[in-house]
Amino acid sequence: MQSRKKIIEIQHLKKIYPSKNAPILALSDVSFDVYEEEFVTIVGQSGCGKTTILKIIAGLLPKTEGTVLLGGQPVTGPRASSGIVFQQPVLFKWRSVLDNVLLPIEILRRNRGDYLQAALDLLELTALTEFKDRYPRELSGGMQQRVSICRALIHDPPVLLMDEPFGALDAMTRSEMNVELLRIWSERRKTSILITHSITEAVFLADRVIVMTPRPGMIADIVEIDLPRPRLAETRVSPRFNELVQVIGRKIGLKYI
């Protein structure tokens, strides 16, 4: 792992949200790297600063102090080098599935025709081909989130950022989406960061789990996940899986796991 190329480099990241009364220290001193093609998850209790980290990496939010490099370049604003998936699918209801997937191409002012095949390939990859002309309201929550993943990948960014993408789904759909996401990741080989407050999800997906402390956000530990790939439904019932879940739960400071 250490010989691989660093794609994301974060050093001494600090974030203070200004506020009328007392400013809010959301991140106090966060440092970590993510390597090429690695899948990293960030887990921590609500309010510990997970979304703040992701928005800063995506260039959607300014940092207060520290260094954030993407592909060796400082992040100064939204860039085409990352794709982001939010907790809610945020699809445009008046656009078809295909047109939602192609939205970033319009925003980046690129030629739609150049990306049509890429969009169809992504819809194929996520088993949505037959829904390409449907509208978001006609899709289930899991399908809508798959459209969001296609949209995040359409311009072929090297980095995929996901903020609790399956948080709104029921447990069974969520488990299925985890397997699906790993399939997409293994085909597309994107460097990925996924945020979750589910320890089992964090362990199931990751090469490494970054464990955050409660607010103000700091890294409690980074845990290497030595479970074999491909990870399948059986992975979740293996003793090692449960051991890792317990270890991480204790690091977060949960009494009951």
Ligand X SMILES: Nc1ncnc2c1ncn2[C@@H]1O[C@H](COP(=O)(O)OP(=O)(O)O)[C@@H](O)[C@H]1O
User: What type of residue is 34?
Assistant: V
H and E: helices and strands count for the chain: 8, 10
Stretch that binds ligand X, among 39-47, 119-127, 198-206, 245-253 (CB under 6 A): 39-47
The verdict on 24 binding ligand X (CB under 6 A) reads: yes
Query: Residue from 8, 10, 13, 51 that binds ligand X (CB under 6 A)?
Result: 51
Which lies closer to Mg ion via its Cβ, residue 163 or residue 180?
163
The verdict on 96 binding Mg ion (CB under 5 A) reads: no
Sheet of strand 217-224, all strands in order from the earlier edge strand to the far edge: 73-74, 65-70, 6-17, 24-35, 217-224, 208-212, 39-43, 191-196, 159-163, 82-85
The verdict on 62 binding ligand X (CB under 6 A) reads: no
Q: Total number of residues binding Mg ion (CB under 5 A)?
A: 2
The verdict on 49 binding ligand X (CB under 6 A) reads: yes
Contact flags string 188-227 toward ligand X, x per CB under 6 A: ---------------------------x------------
For 62-84, b/e burial (b = at least 16 CB within 10 A) is ebeebebbbbeeebeeeeebbbb
- Candidates 157, 162, 121; CA nearest to 145 is 162
Where do we find the tokens 């921590």? 44
The verdict on 126 binding Mg ion (CB under 5 A) reads: no
Contact flags string 23-52 toward Mg ion, x per CB under 5 A: ---------------------------xx-
Query: Residue from 40, 48, 122, 161 that binds ligand X (CB under 6 A)?
Result: 48
Q: How far is CA 68 from the centre of its chain?
A: 17
Q: Where are the beta strands (DSSP E) in 146-254?
A: 159-163, 191-196, 208-212, 217-224
Q: Which residues of this chain interact with ligand X, rule CB under 6 A?
A: 17, 19, 24, 26, 44, 46-52, 215
Please report, as ranges, the residues that interact with Mg ion according to CB under 5 A. 50-51
